[in-house]
A and B are shown apart, each in its own frame.
Chain A
């Protein structure tokens, strides 16, 4: 062996090939089988993609680096089930490009956040976290009250559709209208969002004012959608509890 290595050390390209081979094996063994996951992990029937407004909120969540302090992955550990709710399923993030499982909980996990607090609470908390949670160390985001830029939304949906997220041509074309509609309850545009994305989609004036569409609308809509895209984890959890 040492003799072989003695000769290998004289061959720069030999070392190059050796390194590439040695460093590829682990990745191939662990990653390649995950692409058969489409056959092994079922996407629940009631699973919906995010609405354009929620997607815009997700992009803001990424832009502000929220993922650095908040995970979105409830592990299958007793205290996490008690604190947050049912453990996360692979299917729940199947449409997430990229996934936002996170790696640090400076703040709590958000995978089951949806509909836990009111829209008002979220707006207030984002503008001034310490006004609702005095001991919080979260940064304040007062600039979220600026108008939401919807110009790129249709293209974003179209790109995600190319990657396999089930957005159809109608959803892509109506993206901007749907974003506005979701923040206007009791309007035709609001009903159209429900028609396209499902009756459970929240259609509300998330920032408290239906007349304007702000980044706050998008972020709150996104936060309220977390853990609500499918009922599967809750059903599985209830089965397990019996």
Chain B
């Protein structure tokens, strides 16, 4: 069934109107800007808008789906979100492997501006965090919200608006970097109009989430939804404050952030570390708290512990950004606060990881046999390991060695590959057969292959970067007997070569696994029975007595 076929006639008219509005917006942007990045972005919005106009317009007067659709969950947007998750995974991981190869082989790229390391690197980070992670979060949040509230999404247009709008934001961001347009704020490089657009998308996202929650048939809001809500709310707060900027001209992409110097550094890392907390942790814990119990068939081990760790994470995380600025010009007391809270953060982090692992008690035979559940188990283990490492690296003297080195890169990837990507794959392998009305994935054995490629790739990557980072840190601070520095900077660069090569191999293994996953999902969706629907259904409203 086509996505438009699941909409009523009235909804199709609204969707048609919104598509026309997007085309007009794109045309207006392109015409107003006239040239440069903003004009290209306007043209992109125009093309997307026109595509949607034809897509929806062609089916405007087709037969409407029956009223019985209200007895079903609304999973079209989730299916689309899963597909976009995998598209972004392959694209952004591919770019990641490319840029990592460039550190070993700097001539391995055409001498063109858009293929140079500095422009590709934010494409990798944005593509992974927002494209891969963001689509997975939005897609699973709609799925989990409906199942735990036992109700259908509050309306049919806004979930599509959120997903399509969010992907337009990602596309604007990465294409902007390639054309040389960036704010340079780490993990918030997109220009001002893309940031404004994301705010609009986010308001719609929050609205549909809270409206659906209001229709729930369960008195209690399940813990996974608290985490998704924290993700939506706090990311909005961080995004708005960090991205406040004045455009140089209203018809151009160029802007200056209103923050300067030390305030900007603090705000940028308050954002940066909480992008880790509320984008890359909170929402994914929501995912863990739903898919792990469902797949293992065990209830969450301790409900009290989940309360404790939720509020601990929401409250503590926001303080820790300043540990990125040890020994810098940031006031000393702010650095100390950041360090202290980073160490305290280990308590709620390990409470979550421990809670997840203890949930598997009584289901260890399933962990052994089921690669999908093993993905989630490994994710929980890596979550525990990376949060321990994070608290450790935040301690001031440790940070004096590790900061600015590849140890940080290793730490980030132990979190993103080992934790975030693993839980996404676990969720996808649980959800995709369900969405296709099937018992299993099309190629169950390929999950096993993917699992070992992913675990192997992560370990190769992380271990090589630990070695690289510690070597670098020690070489920079080594003195000889005469009291002179032992190594020039370039000697430390030369020492990195073998680690950079091994890291690229690890990344390549992980990418291969992701491609296997995408093919498997494609085959599963393709082999779904005609008009496949998930077998689980919402509670039906009962007439008043």
Q: Which of B118, B177, B324 is within 8 Å of A69, CB to CB?
A: B118
On whether A26 and B256 interact (CB within 8 A), knowing A9-B221, A135-B490, the answer reads no
Q: Which of A16, A75, A89, A139 is within 8 Å of B229, CB to CB?
A: A16
Q: With A29-B337, A83-B476 given, can you name 18 additional A-B contacts, CB distance below 8 Å? A: A16-B229, A20-B233, A23-B233, A23-B317, A26-B316, A26-B318, A33-B334, A59-B254, A63-B182, A64-B119, A65-B119, A71-B404, A79-B476, A96-B261, A96-B264, A107-B489, A143-B113, A159-B246
On whether A139 and B260 interact (CB within 8 A), knowing A15-B221, A23-B314, A77-B400, the answer reads no
A86 CB, min distance to chain B CBs, angstroms: 12
User: Does chain B have a CB within 8 A of A116?
Assistant: no
A202 CB, min distance to chain B CBs, angstroms: 23
Q: Which residues of B contact A107 (CB under 8 A)?
A: 489, 493
Which among B25-33, B183-191, B526-534 touches the partner chain?
B183-191
Q: Which residue of B lies closest to A66 (CB)?
A: B118
B342 CB, min distance to chain A CBs, angstroms: 11
Cβ-defined contact, A135 with B494, below 8 A: yes
**Interface of chain B residues 213 through 260 with chain A (CB within 8 A):** 213-214, 219-221, 226, 229-230, 233-234, 237, 241, 246-249, 252, 254-260
Q: Which residues of B contact A67 (CB under 8 A)?
A: 184
Q: Which residues of A contact B184 (CB under 8 A)?
A: 62, 65, 67, 98, 100
Cβ-defined contact, B315 with A25, below 8 A: yes
Q: Which residue of B lies closest to A58 (CB)?
A: B184
Cβ-defined contact, A68 with B256, below 8 A: no
Interface residues of B (CB under 8 A from A): 102-104, 106-107, 109, 111-113, 116-119, 121-122, 177, 180-186, 210, 213-214, 219-221, 226, 229-230, 233-234, 237, 241, 246-249, 252, 254-268, 270, 278, 304, 307, 311, 314-322, 324-331, 334, 337-338, 341, 400, 403-405, 408-409, 476-477, 479, 484-485, 489-490, 493-494
A226 CB, min distance to chain B CBs, angstroms: 15
Q: Which residue of A34, A76, A83 has the most chain B CB atoms within 10 A of its CB atom?
A: A34
Q: Which of A20, A71, A79, A96 is within 8 Å of B260, CB to CB?
A: A96
User: Does chain B have a CB within 8 A of A208?
Assistant: no
Cβ-defined contact, B327 with A98, below 8 A: no
Number of interface residues of A (CB under 8 A): 87
- The list of the 5 closest CB pairs from A to B, nearest first, reads A65-B118, A26-B319, A26-B318, A75-B327, A90-B329
Which among A117-125, A160-168, A175-183, A187-195 touches the partner chain?
A160-168
The DSSP consensus for interface residues of chain B is helix
Cβ-defined contact, B246 with A34, below 8 A: no
**Interface of chain A residues 8 through 58 with chain B (CB within 8 A):** 9-10, 12-13, 15-16, 18-20, 22-27, 29-31, 33-35, 37, 41
User: Does chain B have a CB within 8 A of A174?
Assistant: no
Cβ-defined contact, B214 with A12, below 8 A: yes
Mark each residue of chain A from 107 to 118: 1 if its CB lies under 8 Å from any CB of chain B, else 0. 111000000000
User: Does chain B have a CB within 8 A of A197?
Assistant: no
Cβ-defined contact, A162 with B183, below 8 A: no
15 cross-chain CB contacts under 8 A: A12-B214, A22-B315, A27-B318, A30-B321, A63-B181, A68-B121, A79-B479, A88-B328, A93-B261, A96-B260, A98-B256, A104-B404, A109-B404, A136-B106, A163-B258
Q: State in angstroms the CA–CA spacing of A96 and B484 once bound together.
A: 33
Cβ-defined contact, B183 with A23, below 8 A: no
Interface residues of A (CB under 8 A from B): 2, 5, 9-10, 12-13, 15-16, 18-20, 22-27, 29-31, 33-35, 37, 41, 59, 62-69, 71, 73, 75-79, 82-83, 87-109, 129-130, 133, 135-143, 152, 155-156, 159-160, 162-165
Cβ-defined contact, A99 with B261, below 8 A: yes
Q: Which residue of B lies closest to A11 (CB)?
A: B221
Q: Which of A15, A64, A156, A164 is within 8 Å of B226, CB to CB?
A: A15
Cβ-defined contact, B256 with A163, below 8 A: yes
Q: Which of B111, B241, B248 is within 8 Å of A140, CB to CB?
A: B111
